[in-house]
Copies of this chain bind each other. A is one copy, B any other.
Amino acid sequence: MAKMDISTEGKIKAAAKKLFTKNGFEATRTRDIAEEAGINLALLNYYFRSKQKLFEVVMRENVTLFLGSILETINKNQHLTFDEKIELLIDQYIDMLLANPDLPFFILSISRTEEFKKDDSDNPILQSMKLMRASFMQTILADIQSGKLKPVHPLHIISNLMSMIVFPFAASALLKTRTGISDEEFEKLMLERKKLIPVWIKAMFDN
């Protein structure tokens, strides 16, 4: 849970975040946000001017949440080896997703919009991410050259890492209804994956 904000503006933002993240822009009614926040509909426009503006605030926060945890983990642990960083990243990322299970689907849905493609230069977190991805690709290429990793396009490694961490959350509704597992079993499986994914990545790509 994010920190409690009892100001009216904070309540609106929290309600909007909850509903937009779960149901997306189109399926969310401003009336529902107002009701969820326990305030009047007119106040929503008083504080945020429009539904669109409010959505952009939520979008920005969710992107920061989704990418911020990666950046923080990597930046605050420069002393670790590459492999150790990956392990730590997976561990912390799965914790974050267990606390915010709707985030992956939300990110996937906004990534399909035109606005998202333009929102490049003015979001500092996206810029940091760009740099991190570049250095990540660089490290992989060096490890391929030195024979530590198998020769394969770095995007396959990044895709598989992302896939294995994020996809089960994006598809959790599907997994739960189809296989009949409970929320508790799902969480247990995701926690298991913290230890398994690093091993799998090594098995796939190490020489």
A residues at B contact (CB < 8 Å): 24, 26-27, 105, 107-109, 111-112, 116-117, 120, 129-130, 133, 152-153, 155-156, 159-160, 162-164, 166-168, 170-171, 173-175, 177-179, 181, 189, 192-193, 196, 200, 203-204
Is there contact, CB below 8 Å, between A173 and B111? yes
Copies of this protein chain in the complex: 2
Q: How far is the CB of A160 from chain B (nearest CB, A)?
A: 6
Interchain CB contact under 8 A, A112 and B105:
yes
- CB < 8 Å: which of B111, B152, B164, B177 contacts A174? B111
A interface: dominant SS:
helix
Instruction: Give the 9 A-B CB pairs with smallest separation, nearest first.
Output: A26-B26, A163-B167, A163-B163, A111-B174, A167-B167, A26-B27, A111-B173, A203-B203, A200-B204
The answer on a CB contact under 8 Å between A167 and B156 is no
